[in-house]
Amino acid sequence: MNDSQQLAAKKAVGKHAAQLVSDGMRVGLGTGSTTAFAIEELGRRIREEGLNIQGAPTSYAAERLGREVGIPIITLDAVSELDLALDGADEVDPKLNLIKGRGGAHTREKVVAALARRFIALVDASKLVNNLGERRPVPVEVLPMAIGPVTHQLETLGARVELRMSIKKDGPVVTDQGFWIVDAQFEKIEDVAGLDQTIKQLPGVLDHGLFVGMASCALVAEENGSVRTLKAV
């Protein structure tokens, strides 16, 4: 899938996802380029169809885009449950376990996904893998003073670890929570649930990008522009 095909696929799955939202819903608004198309389409439906919804963003970027397109924004202080959460993913395995966090918002994304009755991952076919870790590292959000110890412990688990550096400024990427991110590349993750718990328990770790058993389904855009629904096997 070339760049133009991938962009078309992202648009197709984003628009498709926005059609799953109905009046009165409280919707988790994910972060990233694919979900941005869904957010923009929801804004169009609000303006042109009178759709009445509220959006709970997973990042400052998602909140800003939501406000720009006219989605009424709510905070998690105001809700105990969301009807639906829409978000992208970096990898999806056959059991619908995910790696997320290339955009650095995985901790907030996980909070929002956990509150949703249905959490739907929006991806193109290139994101489907047999085992998590085949192509993408696991982002781990770490207290800055704990970078050294956490890096060492991740390496003992078999990962190649790299501190994520900012592109447009000097220094590491800083999350919305003020933490840093290390990317832990595993050759193949066979025990996803076990690794999930192991990393989560490391002192200094806020959270990580493994989403285990959280997705209700995935919407997958193919090269020809069609969108199919993938359920766990």
Amino acid at 167: I
HEC secondary structure over the chain = CCHHHHHHHHHHHHHHHHCCCCCCCEEEECCCHHHHHHHHHHHHHHHHHCCCCEEEECCHHHHHHHHHHCCCECCHHHCCCEEEEEEECCEECCCCCEECCCCCCHHHHHHHHHHEEEEEEEEEHHHECCCCCCCCCEEEEECHHHHHHHHHHHHHCCCEEEECECCCCCCECECCCCCEEEEEECCCCCCHHHHHHHHHCCCCEEEECEECCCCCEEEEECCCCCEEEECCC
From 40, 41, 91, 109, the catalytic residue: 109
Spatial distance between the Cα atoms of 26 and 10, rounded to a whole number of angstroms: 23
| 155 is annotated as an active-site residue | no
d(CA 150, CA 157): 11
Residues marked active site are found at: 109
